Amino acid sequence: MLTNKVLNIGEGTISQISEMLSKQKISGKLLYVSDPVVDGLFGALVRPQLEKAGQVREVFVTENTIDYAMSLAERVIATDIDCIIGMGGGKVLDVCKYAAYISKKPFLSIPTTMANDGIASPIAVLKRRDGKPKSLGCAVPTMLLLDTQLIMNSPKELIKAGIGDTMSNYMALLDWKLAYSCGKEDINGYAYLMSQTSLDALMKTQYDSICPEFIEVLANSLILSGIAMDFAGSSRPVSGSEHLFSHALDMYSEKPNLHGLQVALGTVAALMLIGEDYRPVVNYLKKFEVDVNPVRLGIDEKTFVSCMQKSVTVRNDRYTYLHECELSDERLKTIYKRLLEEL
């Protein structure tokens, strides 16, 4: 479980790595995992701090497959690594998260992007041998260090995807309530509240553009969503209809988009389908210029209709409003048209 002691969010925290490791009494053999681009940008800042704490081994992640993460775990076990330090985007961090879980070693996560709530979740998304993504249960990072200035300089599109993933809690919570009221699933009150708080913190923020202060709010929201998943023991608090739709796009569309943008589109579409007020979500997305217009995301009418219909088959342990909706071609085509007008 992430606590105050192992969670450091703020400007300039990238210089506090050795401090965090020494507070956690971590020394010995450290495996620094990154990729060439991220290492080129920040490696010179990170390496001396790690060398202060222990003997550093290095690896650049070449692929985010289950096989690769397992082989990294094998290396950690076989060479008696004491701690994994992962720095990068979701691909690097998910490989590290899973390798740390398999090898049962501590993991310090240093995100350089903030495109989804995976930064503090107990789930790693890795590729199967056929190239399709698979969500694997694991553990939240042991330590997390997030530098808001560093994220501020990351591509804006990724930050916008992070906004989209948090906004999807809106639909996920409606779906969870429905599943509970129908007796299909249990509800965990605390996890529900955490997911709601994560959403509220973002929606009620005083900032109306992406600035370092807003990044801090978004970081806290994404981390709280991750903790909600950890507390509930599943992604349920932050994943409903809109995530099923996004999973269907990942499986069946020709060119999947960023997860956070897909789930934000799914949120608006699902709200339209069930006749709920979607304006607060649309207005918020527009305020931060999070563009989820399906045409601009490269999702044509046919793909939209078929992926909406396939959503209900993606996982059978999740009950949502989509399971109660009429999902005929005709109705979904109307929704698609409305999405083009509104987004």
- Binding-site ranges for Zn ion (CB under 5 A): 165
Strand order in the sheet with 143-147: 7-10, 143-147, 107-111, 83-88, 29-34, 55-60
* Residue 196 and residue 173 in contact, taking contact as beta carbons nearer than 8 Å: yes
CB of 263 to Zn ion, least distance (A): 5
Q: What is the CA radius of gyration of the chain?
A: 20
CB of 245 to Zn ion, least distance (A): 11
CB of 103 to Zn ion, least distance (A): 26
Nearer to Zn ion, 13 or 225 (CB): 225
- The Cα–Cα gap between 226 and 5 comes to 17
Which residue sits closest to Zn ion, CB atoms considered? Answer: 165
Nearer to Zn ion, 94 or 165 (CB): 165
CB of 264 to Zn ion, least distance (A): 10
Nearer to Zn ion, 145 or 263 (CB): 263
| CA angle (140 as vertex; 256, 29 as ends), nearest 5 | 110
Helix/strand/coil (H/E/C) assignment for every residue in the chain: CCCHHHEEEECCHHHHHHHHHHHCCCCCEEEEEECHHHHHHHHHHHHHHHHHHCEEEEEECCCCEHHHHHHHHHHHHHCCCCEEEEEECHHHHHHHHHHHHHHCCCEEEEECCCCCHHHHCCEEEEECCCCCEEEEECCCCCEEEEEHHHHHCCCHHHHHHHHHHHHCHHHHHHHHHHHHHCCCCCCCHHHHHHHHHHHHHHHCCCCCCCCHHHHHHHHHHHHHHHHHHHHHCCCHHHCCHHHHHHHHHHHHCCCCCCHHHHHHHHHHHHHHHCCCCCHHHHHHHHHCCCCCCCCCCCCCHHHHHHHHHHHHHHCCCCCCHHHHCCCCHHHHHHHHHHHHHHC
CB of 17 to Zn ion, least distance (A): 27
Nearer to Zn ion, 53 or 144 (CB): 144
Nearer to Zn ion, 105 or 236 (CB): 236
CB of 235 to Zn ion, least distance (A): 7
Nearer to Zn ion, 147 or 165 (CB): 165
Nearer to Zn ion, 14 or 308 (CB): 308
CB of 45 to Zn ion, least distance (A): 30
- The Cα–Cα gap between 121 and 228 comes to 8
CB of 191 to Zn ion, least distance (A): 15
Nearer to Zn ion, 46 or 93 (CB): 93
Nearer to Zn ion, 13 or 311 (CB): 311
CB of 252 to Zn ion, least distance (A): 18
